[in-house]
Amino acid sequence: MTMTPEQAAWFQGTFHRLVENVDKALQGKPDVVSLVIAAMLAEGHVLLEDAPGTGKTSLAKALAATVQGTSSRIQFTPDLLPSDVTGVTIYDQQSHRFEFHKGPIFASIVLADEINRASPKTQSALLEVMEESRVTVDGVTHEAGRPFLVIATQNPVEQAGTYKLPEAQLDRFLIKTSIGYPDLAVTESILAGASQRNPSAALSAVITTGAVADMADLGATVHVEPAVLRYTAELAEATRADSAIKLGVSVRGAIAMIRIAKVWAAAHGRHYVLPDDIKALARPVWQHRLLLDAEAEFAGTTSDVVIGRVLETVAAPQARSAA
């Protein structure tokens, strides 16, 4: 089944209401909010590389309140254990049975704060749940539910005592972006409401978690022309062939692009994906998946530069306007 124009119009209206509601708490960042919500509806996860105090926790809480979901925050530290994230099985002396006590990963929106401060063993505890939305403890599988979104953060300034995320784990994040500091006018507005410590508490839910799952299923039915699929594959291949790149976009990265491009198209009222959707999403979806050659990085080349170069060199197709 392919999404109809009427369904696309409904999807667009609902998506915009979600963005507007979350932005009431975050203020002045609709573009970032749109990307994060698109990632949630594509059933992926988000990596935020931001300085402290830019609103990461507010974003997670506001999003959870908007979709009538639950939120949790995990502060990653060097002594954090995998069981502190996923949960632990404890023997109950009264019932004489082992019972699983869920960890903070079992929430609709999970903020994994400063994920690179935890040991690789603890970081790897996230791999299964991020990829398959489930946790296996003592041979028993526990579903995370829907929606399930991990918003992991990294501090780009302070790197002392951190464990760099390996490429295999970076590839699990659908997008990488940053909130950044607000402009002067928005900062004034935030300061005027400084007495309200938790802006998300005043938000009303726009839809239920069940409706979010339905939107995710509907977004997956957006039509993608074979020419657009080939264009995406050519872009991914071009990143691997670039002289500045040691490791280019993986097949998982190309699949991630198609998944979020479908949601992005529906969010703009279309039931089909355009090459412009791929171009608009190339940097947030692929920038963290590229591993630069040491010499190129030393010379000042960045992932953004490579993606820009690839977008210029690979010709975009003239896709049909409808399925």
What does pTM read for this prediction?
0.91
pLDDT of residue 165: 82
How far is CA 21 from each of CA 42, 118, 313, rounded to the nearest angstrom? 19, 33, 39
**Cα–Cα dist 253/236, whole Å:** 8
**Cα–Cα dist 186/183, whole Å:** 5
**Cα–Cα dist 177/273, whole Å:** 22
Q: Is 245 helix (H, G, I), strand (E, B) or coil?
A: strand
pLDDT of residue 323: 44
pLDDT of residue 80: 92
**Count of CB atoms situated within 10 Å of the CB of 245:** 20
pLDDT of residue 72: 93
DSSP sequence for 49-117: E--TTSSHHHHHHHHHHHTT--EEEEE--TT--HHHHHEEEEEETTTTEEEEEE-TT-SSEEEEETGGG
pLDDT of residue 161: 59
The pLDDT profile of the chain, 323 residues, written as one tens digit per residue, is 889 999 999 999 999 999 999 998 888 899 999 999 999 999 999 999 887 888 888 899 999 999 999 999 999 999 999 999 999 989 888 888 888 899 999 999 999 998 988 888 888 888 778 888 888 888 888 899 899 999 999 887 666 557 778 787 888 899 999 998 888 988 888 888 766 777 777 788 999 999 999 999 999 999 999 999 999 999 999 999 999 999 999 999 999 999 999 999 999 999 999 999 999 999 999 999 999 998 988 998 999 999 999 999 999 998 555 44
8 A C-beta contact, residue 43 and residue 218: no
Tokens of 56: 């990461």
**Count of CB atoms situated within 10 Å of the CB of 247:** 14
**Cα–Cα dist 237/249, whole Å:** 7
Tokens of 38: 């698109």
Of the candidates 5, 16, 42, the residue with the CA atom closest to the CA atom of residue 207:
16
pLDDT of residue 131: 84
The torsion defined by the Cα of 278, 211, 74 and 255, in degrees rounded to 10, comes to -30
Sequence-distant (≥ 6) Cβ neighbours of residue 271 within 8 angstroms: 2, 3, 4, 5, 7, 8, 222, 223, 265, 322, 323
Tokens of 253: 């990265």
The burial of 13, by beta-carbon neighbours within 10 Å (0-12 exposed, 13-18 middle, 19 or more buried), is given as: exposed
